[in-house]
Amino acid sequence: MCYHWTKQFCLLTVVLFVTVAVASDPINDGKTPYSAEAAEPTQGVSEKPAQATRPAYPRVTPSIWYEVDPDWPRRPKDMSWGGTPGVAVDDKDQVWVFTRAERPVQVYSADGKFLRSWGEELIGRRESSVGSHSIKIDREGMIWLADCINHVILQVTPDGKLLKTLGTPGEAGCDESHLNMPTDMAVTPQGEVFVADGYGNARIVHFDAKGQFVKAWGTLGTGPGEFNVPHAIVLDSEGTLYVADRNNARVQVFDQNGKFLNQWRNLIIPWGLWITVDNEIWVCGCSPMPWLESDGDYLSCPPKDQILMRFSRCGKALQLWTAPKGKDNEEKPGELNWVHGIAVDSKGNLYVADIMGKRVQKFVRHN
């Protein structure tokens, strides 16, 4: 019995020794099969001392991962970006950037080629500030812009011609004809619009396809159907609304009559939302915890970290990605700094918009 046990142990030891030797060999990178021939030094070349290399395992091997494209986009030298809160992708995978710069609407191809820009005369300005906040594209290919300085939502053609205005330009209010620093909008296939009326008011406003007021719901608070900065809004293919209730650190879910359906709490402070054709909801933001400013006051939505999450329609977390936060004016490719907007193209690539980073970055999907 002891003899057989010893024999088996020796055999196991040999197997383990060979396995470890293969895994740790500097010639073998863990991606190609080990080759004794490849391990021989090349004739005429001095053999280098063995170097420590990482083993083939354990390694982190996610089923889906993303890699920044540092060369996207190829922005013209005269095309500046300011703080960039908004980004959207159309059905041609063209990327629409909404930035706080001289030309606020800029369009790029999926491979980064600059296509066109416009919006200088459309978007409100106050001193050095530009009202750019959110951009969406409806089923007909029309562009929707949230201008939080002018207190309006604009419907615009792809070449920049104004079609419709929701709210009263330059006037803040909380009635049927006024908005107060609106942050985002969601458009139904029939052309009805739901506005997150956002920084100044704590409500969702429903307009019909002609731009007429239908109803509004919400008030400042923490209960179901109440809001503290409704910052973004999207609509799924079933007509369900998802609202980024930013300073309450949750996403609230409603039907189109304003009936509260669900809430996803304490997972992320949501800044931006995007819904895919498969009804998966992407959320960008930061961790749901209070931080103190230097004077001791609470900062309610601190971008101390940068988080991207993907949810199912029922609120199941499908993916979590924490990106490194860049230092102001020194951001490196792949770092985020006050992440604010997110969009996804037909291949699953992500486009992420930064306020302090003053850019949109493309993250290429691998799976």
Is the Cα dihedral 283, 289, 294, 297 positive or negative?
Answer: positive
pLDDT by residue, tens only, the chain of 367 residues: 444 433 333 333 333 333 333 333 333 333 333 233 333 333 434 445 556 666 666 777 788 899 999 999 999 999 999 999 999 999 999 999 999 998 999 999 999 999 999 999 899 777 667 789 999 999 999 999 999 999 999 999 999 999 999 999 999 999 999 999 999 999 999 999 999 999 999 999 999 999 999 999 999 999 999 999 999 999 999 999 999 999 999 999 999 999 999 999 999 999 999 999 999 999 999 988 766 666 666 655 556 689 999 999 999 999 999 999 999 899 999 999 999 999 999 999 999 999 999 999 999 999 8
- CA dist 97 and 217 (Å) reads 30
Q: Which helix (H) or strand (E) holds 2?
A: helix 2-24
The CATH H-level superfamily of 68-366 is TolB, C-terminal domain (2.120.10.30)
Prediction pTM value: 0.82
Alpha-carbon distance 31 to 315, whole Å?
A: 37
Distance CA 274, CA 309 (A): 11
With residue 89 as reference, give the H or E element that holds it. strand 86-89
Calpha distance 218→202 (Å, rounded): 6
In this structure, the strands spanning 95-98 and 105-108 are antiparallel
What burial letters (b/e) apply to 236-275, b meaning 16+ CB within 10 Å?
A: beeebbbbbbbbbbbbbbbebebeeeebbeebbbbbbbbb
Token representation of residue 132? 């750019």
